[in-house]
Amino acid sequence: MICVDMHCDSVSEAYKTGRSLAKPCGQGHVDLPRLRQAGIKVQFFALFPDRIYYPGRTLQQVLRLLDYATESFREDAGITVIRTRQDLQHCLATETLGAVMTLEGGEPLEGEIRILRALYRLGVRGLGLTWNNRNELADGVAEGQTGGGLTRLGRQVVQEMNRLGMIIDVSHLSEPGFWDVLELSSAPVIASHSNCSAVWDHPRNLTDRQIKAIAEQRGVVGISLVPQFVGPQGAGLSALIEHIDHICSLVGDEYVGFGSDFDGLKDLICGVNDVTDFPALVDGLRGRGYSQEAVARICGRNCLRVLEVVLPELEE
């Protein structure tokens, strides 16, 4: 079975501590040996510049993070950075671990489509338009009371991402921005690490209407292990699976996956300490009565479907 995780902050975390992702260590939630131990086949690695780089230095930091990840990956002959459908097919046909590089927040674009294209040429294949705050592309969820959605530049970025073959991530967006993206995008979108507000009410979680809209466009919602998104204090695996149950009952099991947010925070839900506990999530689905086919869809095939549709066949 192929497992995919649609979001982690492990590049940023490794950069802070100076450790290589290629080597096993007791720090953080993720390194390449532990990904293999956990059975993860494709990992999305977010490039997220800390707030200390705002404003004006986010692009520099993203380039540092991208270089840092590249240097780590060069130490491991068994990893492929997925830029195209051809790369994805190679990864799935071999023992290779796949890495999808993404950008969390549009600040590093510095208001220029050309920077988006440059990052694309450096291997970035996904973009979450905002973090929680407002930027030049859109309002984030923390600005929800303003009613602001995508800016004119944000609309241009969505259209250019469609043209290039980049994955649009609507996690962290304000709800008006979410609806602007869904109206504009000609390709499926993901919410890489967001849960269900009907199960646990949190500003970062999605309404039923939003989940249905993502499903209608054949996208995927990545269920996160962030405790605040899952349930009350002490929530664990059972509470997490309630979010998956809800999406499956609402739209079916073809539109949900996992977006852990490993290394995005220190503590995850009860019972999950790092990526090596990922098999417990798989076992939890089986224990809840999901069929083998449904488990395979949720754990990876749903996200792979989006990658196969969105990614370019070959590089420009």
* Least confident piece of the model among 49-63, 273-287, 291-305: 49-63
pLDDT on residue 316: 66
pLDDT on residue 95: 94
pLDDT on residue 51: 82
Give per-residue pLDDT as tens, 84-142. Answer: 999 999 999 999 999 999 999 999 999 999 999 999 999 999 999 999 999 999 999 99
Homologous superfamily in CATH for domain 3-310: Metal-dependent hydrolases (3.20.20.140)
Instruction: State the alpha helices, DSSP H only, in the chain.
Output: 10-17, 32-38, 58-74, 85-93, 113-121, 152-164, 175-184, 208-216, 227-230, 237-251, 278-287, 292-296, 302-310
Give the span between the Cα atoms of 44 and 95, in whole angstroms.
17
Give per-residue pLDDT as tens, 32-67. Answer: 999 999 999 999 999 999 888 888 899 999 999 999
Considering the entire predicted model, what is its pTM?
0.97
Q: List the domain boundaries for the chain.
A: 3-310
